[in-house]
Each structure stands twice: as structure tokens, then as C-alpha cells.
Amino acid sequence: MKIEQAWQSNWSWTVLLLPFSLLYYLIVQLRRLCFKNGLLKIVDSAVPVVVVGNISAGGNGKTPVVLWLAQLLLDNGYKPAVVSRGYGGQGAKYPLVVSDSVSATHCGDEPKLIARRLAIPVVVDPNRANAVAHAVSLGADVVISDDGMQHYRMARAIELAVVDGQRRHGNGWLLPSGPLREPQSRLDSVFAVICNGSGPRHDEFSMRLEPHQHWCPVAPSKQPLCSADLANKKLLAVAGIGNPQRFFDTVAGLDIQADTLPLNDHAAITQTMIDQWQSHYDLVLMTEKDVVKCSELNADKCYYLPVDARIDSRLAQQILTKLNTLNGVDDGV
């Protein structure tokens, strides 16, 4: 996390890594050129693929966008599926279809969250092109890739780039001296840029995260709580996401006073950690992404707050129009 903080400064010790960033830039550009000229093969898909990704390291809010997009497609008669690399997962065999019996340890926290939220196929495979083919075999007529903008072997029809409105692109340098996986000019080629949070630019679509009304319990025997139920309790807010401060700001915005504990993105959560938290606090508040890692743990004092993405409605119209055009359907949306 120290390097992520350094990435937000124009001048920090990461300037010493600029020679490695130059090498990284040359590799990125050479790789893109090889795919563009056919030296490396792009695997075509029988159905449109929509990539939800970013050009910077760390979480920018992609998963809420994936959920929003999947629901939009369902509401308009499509049969979507989601594919993911399954970061942090340790599946014994791929492709892996996420189900109730598959733990987050095997499939990764984000695929597990998506599968819990929506009754659609979620396929995990480090080779996303293989995951797409398997999703199509399951009946999907459009595939959403959770991340994968840099996975050029996978063909795509639409790219949606998500930008964190608070952190933007940090110092603007490429890895490892900065957070960028690709130059900012890469955004010129995407279908749309979605700004998560404040400060969308004129060519970006605005997005905000809207929390649900109730805190949901991890333990099924417990009842949901409203924010007023948390008054006068000793609370700990835990977040193992790309930008933990966003969750802490949400908690504070609900007039909830809590100690905060940021974890690394995708950090494992163990029973020992849960026991320690629960022994010192009345309740532990967590993100939905972290909770999927606790389903098999004794977490009676742990609650989470689901959030939904609210995105400029113009983008929904443009996506549906593009997909209808690709499928040879008159635009009636």
C-alpha cells in the first residue's frame, strides 16, 4: 500500500523506477503491435464481448459496473454471462463455473460476489478467451469480461474503462513508477470512460455507488440492521478493496462512527482475524467483496452493506444500440 500512496505523488521515490517504466512501455507497445498486425492471434468469439476494465492498477469500481451491465442486459432480453481471471483464486481445474459449492478461495472474491448477486453463468479462467468460449457453450448471447482490457488475445466488441474519480491516474506514470498499465492515450480507443465518484470530465460518464438501506448479516441466523441500529456500539470497518477509503467514506456518510482497518485488495480473511476483530468490537462492518470470503467462517458479528452503481442513463442507451447493431437488430430501445 505504500507504493500506491507514492503513486499519487508527482515526485516521490518511485521516480527511481522510471527506467523500468520505459522498458515496460516498450513491451506494452510491442505486444499491442503484434496483436494489431496478426503476429499474435486474437481468438474470435461467436457473441459480442464487453470488457469492463481500466488502465491503472488497483480497484476502480469495475465489479459494480459489471453488475449494473449484467442487469441492464437481463432487463433487455439478453442472456449474459460473466468471465473473469479469478484473481486470488486457486482453482484446481479451468474453466471453472462459479456455483454455491465453489468457495471464494477457489474462484476469487469478485466472481463469487457476482455469482451471489445474479443468477447468470460466471466462468473463471486465467485464459479469458477460453472462458468466453465456455460461457457461449452455456448459452450466453453476450459475455461481460470483468477486467481484461490488456488481455488482447480475447476479442471484444465494446470496452468500458472505469476511472476512480478520486485517484484518477495518480502521477501519470506507467508501472512500476506509477499505477498505469497502459498510457492514458489508451482511453481514446475505448467505447466509453466511466468516472466512479466526483469529477467526471466532459467526455466521461458519471457513476456513483448507492448503498442499500440495510446492513446484511454474514450469519444467516441474524437479522439485517439499519444504520440507526449501530448507534452507541463499538464498530470496526474493514475493507480489502482497491480503494478502502471509499468504503470508509460511505460509512462516515451514514453518520456511523467506526474505527477503520484497510487491507490489501483481495486480502485473505481468516478465522483468526475474525475472532480478533469480534473480541474487541460489538460489530464488524465489511464490504460485500470481503464478505464472500467469510461464508465458511464464524462471523456472527460481521455485517456488510451492498452497493449498486448508478450510471449516466445515456451510456445504457448507447450500449444497447451498439449491441443491437452488432446483432443486426433494429434499434428499438
User: Is 62 part of any known ligand binding site?
Assistant: yes
User: Is 332 part of any known ligand binding site?
Assistant: no
Residue 158: which residues within 8 A CB-CB, separation 6 or more? 48, 49, 50, 51, 191, 319, 322, 323
- The distance in angstroms from the start CA to the end CA of the chain is 44
C-alpha cell at 196: 466512479
The whole-angstrom separation of Cα 318 and Cα 191 is: 9
What are φ and ψ of residue 41, in 5° steps? -85, 135
User: Is 61 part of any known ligand binding site?
Assistant: yes
73 touches 160 (CB < 8 A): no
Instruction: Tell how far CA 39 is from the center of its chain.
Output: 31
Name the DSSP class of 47: S
User: Is 57 part of any known ligand binding site?
Assistant: yes
How many Cβ atoms from other residues are within 10 Å of residue 186's Cβ? 18
C-alpha cell at 108: 476469487
User: Is 88 part of any known ligand binding site?
Assistant: no
Hey, what amino acid is at 306? Answer: P
User: Is 240 part of any known ligand binding site?
Assistant: no
The whole-angstrom separation of Cα 226 and Cα 36 is: 52
Pairing label, strands 307-311, 283-286: unpaired
- Residues in binding site for ATP: 56-63
- Residues in binding site: 56-63
